[in-house]
Amino acid sequence: MNILFVSYGELSLGKGALRSFCMIRTLAEAGHRIDIVAARVEFPEHPNVRVLSGDGAAPLSKPRIRLAALRASGRQTYDCMHAVDDAVVFVSRVVRFRKSKLIYDASRCFTGSVGSEPSVLYKLFPRHFRQLEKKILTQAAAVLVPCPVLKSDLRNLERNAAIVQIEDVPAQSLFAGYQIERATLMERFEGVASSWVVCSILPGNAKELRKLLVAARKVIETVPDAAFFFKGDLVEEAEKLAANLDIRGRCSFLAADETAEFLAALELADAAMLMPQSASRYIHHEVFTLLHSPAPLVAIQCSAYEKILTDRNSIPVLPSSESISEGLLRALQEPLFSLGIALEGQQLVAGKFTFSSFKHKLRMAYHEALKKK
């Protein structure tokens, strides 16, 4: 089967494209030929994967991605076209013209009360784009979603949509190159660090960053040899805040693309911390990476995660520096309790969110979609 894979985003593990990586690898290993058109692509060489655009240093613009996809579909016949997120609007037109099938990898609703608009045009012409989204959902041979809430939101928009739920998996499933020595990670800190905390700050949490750093200071005041890894897109701002709080030497700030360092730190951590987007409706895939690690997970309570995170597989805290620091101190100071929390999290991932399960669901979704007339 020939598949054209189109995304407006960067297909890189460092840019959060874990789901797309999993899908491309799964399809390629199943013997399908994948042509990729995206803003920028960092994918290991594979005989069944070809990067048609996005292999340069600078990300491509959306118009150039659309032009590349259109040219590709004119040069070769594709059995289906796989569109990620808002690239589906353009790809849905191409598949009608080329008489191919559409696979839509959805990450949000675009319209309605729970919608997240890709552009300002969706706000200016809400009725038009709502009808367009409904039409795309009907047209798609399969609509792939990562969680039940998004499945419900899209079903409410178009009840006849062929929606298939395929849950995300931990980054450890794909990324094997994180064996970094403890001594190398230690060099990031001033003095000895015998207790490690790894914090994941998801996008959209700039306002909550200070709370987390104040909590880190409270922990360091109680456990002086504690050290913190912070991963997120706010490195420069976080460094300044840490310096103002006089804890810069006990903190290491990882950029979003430092996946190897992040996973290596998680393997050696005494506690992990999740700061989710406060207004998000949907689960972020990083929660599975944190649950898969041997460290107990401390997580700020968020309704999007209430069916995944419980008080058996995580330590729930409120979005305040006092509550966060209390949760982290409990994880560091009660090792037997923390071990039980971590084991429950690992068992949850091993039972429901494995790469083998992901592969099976995706292959079945494609099989069923391509059988349709």
| Residues paired with residue 57 on neighbouring β-strands, in sequence order | none
Name the token pair of 276: 């989710």
> In whole angstroms, what separates CA 217 from the centre of its chain?
28
Task: Please check whether residue 44 is in contact with residue 28, taking contact to mean a CB–CB distance below 8 angstroms.
Answer: no
Say how many C-beta atoms besides its own lie within 10 A of residue 341's C-beta: 23
Please report the sign of the dihedral spanned by the C-alpha atoms of residue 154, residue 155, residue 159, residue 165: positive
Q: Can you tell me whether residue 4 is helix, strand or coil?
A: strand
Q: Please return the burial class of 183, using the count of CB atoms within 10 Å of its CB with bins 0-12, 13-18 and 19+.
A: exposed
Distance CA 236, CA 277 (A): 20
Distance CA 152, CA 282 (A): 11
Q: What pLDDT does residue 189 have? A: 79
Task: Please check whether residue 210 is in contact with residue 244, taking contact to mean a CB–CB distance below 8 angstroms.
Answer: no
Distance CA 280, CA 136 (A): 24
Q: Which residues of the chain have pLDDT under 50?
A: none
Identify the H or E element spanning 28: helix 18-29
Distance CA 207, CA 205 (A): 5
Distance CA 147, CA 167 (A): 6
pLDDT digits (tens, 9 = 90+) for 259-315: 888 888 898 899 999 988 777 889 999 999 999 999 999 999 988 898 999 999 999
Task: Please check whether residue 117 is in contact with residue 110, taking contact to mean a CB–CB distance below 8 angstroms.
Answer: yes
Q: Which positions ≥6 away from 222 have C-beta within 8 Å? A: 329
Residue with tokens 């020595």: 181
Task: Please check whether residue 108 is in contact with residue 85, taking contact to mean a CB–CB distance below 8 angstroms.
Answer: yes
Q: What pLDDT does residue 62 have? A: 95
Distance CA 164, CA 76 (A): 28
Identify the H or E element spanning 184: helix 182-186
Task: Please check whether residue 291 is in contact with residue 313, taking contact to mean a CB–CB distance below 8 angstroms.
Answer: yes
Task: Please check whether residue 174 is in contact with residue 195, taking contact to mean a CB–CB distance below 8 angstroms.
Answer: no
pTM to 2 decimals? Answer: 0.91
Angstrom CA distances, 347 to 89, 294, 312, stand at: 39, 11, 11
Please report the sign of the dihedral spanned by the C-alpha atoms of residue 343, residue 355, residue 270, residue 239: negative
Q: What pLDDT does residue 151 have? A: 96
Q: What pLDDT does residue 244 have? A: 92
Torsion angles phi and psi, residue 165, rounded to 5: -90, 120
Name the token pair of 114: 């729970």
Q: Which domains does the chain have, with CATH numbers?
A: 2-169+354-371 (3.40.50.2000), 173-352 (3.40.50.2000)
pLDDT digits (tens, 9 = 90+) for 28-59: 999 999 999 999 998 889 999 999 998 877 88
Distance CA 182, CA 177 (A): 14
Name the token pair of 362: 């995706």
